[in-house]
Amino acid sequence: MFRMVGFFMLLISQSYLLHSIETTFTHFNFVSLVHLFAVTGIIAGMFLNFLNQFTPQNKRQYQQPPEQLPYVVAVIPTYNEPIDILEQTVLSLKALDYPKDLLQIIISDDGHNQHIKELAQHHKVLYNPGARRDAKAGNLNSALQYIKSNLSDSAFILTQDADELIDPSFLSKTIGYFNDPKVAFVQTPKEAIAPKGDPFGVRDRIFFDALQPGRAGAGAAFSCGSGVIWRISAVESIGGFATWNLVEDLTTSYYLHIAGYSSEYHNEILTIGLSPDDIPNLLKQRGTWAADTIRIFLFKNPLYQYGLTLRQRLQYLELGLFYLTSVFFIPCLMLVPLISLATGVFPAIEGSALFPWMVVSIIYYATLSQSRLIDLLRMWQYWIGHWPTYSKSLIIALRSRYKKPAYKVTRKTHQNGFYGHLLWPQFLYIFAGVFISIRALISPGANLIAVWSNIGVFAYFAFMLSGICRAAFYGLKWNVFQMSREPHPVQQK
């Protein structure tokens, strides 16, 4: 079904692109040129997405573990996380269904916190004072050195964030994948505990349930930093966890794929954890991910990396284009109706060409998402709504070719407040669009068909931006949009 819809999408998209090219140069104006630029980029991204999702790999049946189970070390990298949250993570790891004589747990503490050291002693797990450099990657590399010195028989390292709980069956369901000596790591999807309705778009179900299986089918599923188990010898062969970027997960995966290793994606939720639930934390987290991905795209582009297969190159290329589309092509398309309504100059696009493309695009992504329409809506809202965040990340990336940007740990506690000042471009777009639309409607001699058509396009983008704008009010007692927050399992203890 997906392939059939995809081919139909390509056909309609090609027709719309050709129509846009023809009308742009037949009835040339600046607005038409902006529209053509935006549409070309978006359709190119859709074509690449279809190629990359053509043969997904949805593994849910776990591989048979080897007869002789290997020695595994579970590492919790931490930096001043709340003790009660960290303790629940330790307890979840201690409950793993795996022989206790073949499992060690290490709290690797960059903060050198005496209370955390006492927590480790209380629960009879190991404590490693982290390196205090290179953020989480440096912490994990410090843990690797500790393992090499004290637990030399260890073959695998399970990395688990300090604010995430793990299912007891995790190791029994993932360790069998390493029967293949080329497998460097196994990633699993994770669930984020979010406010009701996921107003911050942090559950990322489309990413975990639809996009990652497509990457797995191309041998390009990458680590998400937690809920992942690594082959120690593979990580050591590339010099340890990658410190070149802000966070280690994507870049380490990238280096391992370049080195010829493969990865597996076991598509079953086996971890659950905290997620940002205020705007500053959300922008910080998503901006960090964007900066890392864009830095790879700019300075270590997959098209020029020897060792990657063609399909792996295309998968990593799409990652960078995802953010650049939000930075360049989406804003240009958003500006078209506002410029047209303000100036009276409209792109000469036929509705009979535009609306079939819009409809088939929605059907394509709905099919890709397996009809998870609410999750799809959240992904779109934040892909579009984060355009200022990703633009800032692009600037940060451009300035950091030779020195990576400073990193700040994601805060684990909610901070109430109205954060409209952090989202002023989004609010400005909505208010300016409303003003311009009213002005266009009351202008004498207005082409009402063209005006209403462009107001409709503006209304679509305003609705998409409303997701992140609404989240700016989250937590305020007077908030008429108040959203209840479901407690994290850790916080229920």
Known active-site residue 110:
yes
Q: Which CA distances in Å does 228 have to 173, 217, 444? A: 12, 18, 63
Dihedral (CA of 72, 161, 61, 315) sign: negative
CA 479 to chain centre: 28
Residues 250, 322: Cα–Cα separation, whole Å: 15
Exactly one of 109, 110, 163, 209 is catalytic; which is it?
Answer: 110
SS3 call for 378: helix
Q: Which of these is catalytic: 163, 167, 249, 292? A: 249
Tell me if residue 204 is catalytic.
Answer: no
8 Å CB contact between 161 and 86: no
Q: What is the DSSP string of 419-475?
A: -GGGGHHHHHHHHHHHHHHHHHHHSTT--HHHHHHHHHHHHHHHHHHHHHHHHTTTT
Which H/E stretch holds residue 78?
strand 72-78
Sign (positive or negative) of CA dihedral 116, 271, 170, 220: negative
Task: Give which of 231, 253, 233 is closest to 244, Cα–Cα.
Answer: 253
Whole-number Cα distances in Å, 84 to 96, 194, 476, 485: 19, 19, 26, 19
Q: How far is CA 461 from CA 25, 384, 411, in A?
A: 26, 8, 30
118 — phi, psi (to 5°)?
-65, -35
Edge-to-edge, what's the strand order for the sheet holding 156-159?
Answer: 126-129, 103-109, 72-78, 156-159, 228-231, 183-187, 262-265
Tell which residue, 48, 44, 56, 42, has the closest CA to residue 1.
56
Nearest 10 degrees: CA dihedral of 7, 11, 14, 18?
170
Secondary structure (3-state) at 246: coil
Single-letter amino acid code for the residue at 266? H
CA–CA distance, 122 with 79 (Å, rounded to integer): 19
Whether the Cβ atoms of residue 465 and residue 426 lie closer than 8 Å to each other: yes
Distance, first Cα to last Cα, the chain: 45
**Phi and psi (nearest 5°) for 175?**
-65, -30
CB neighbours of residue 303 within 10 Å = 11
Catalytic amino acids?
Answer: 110, 249
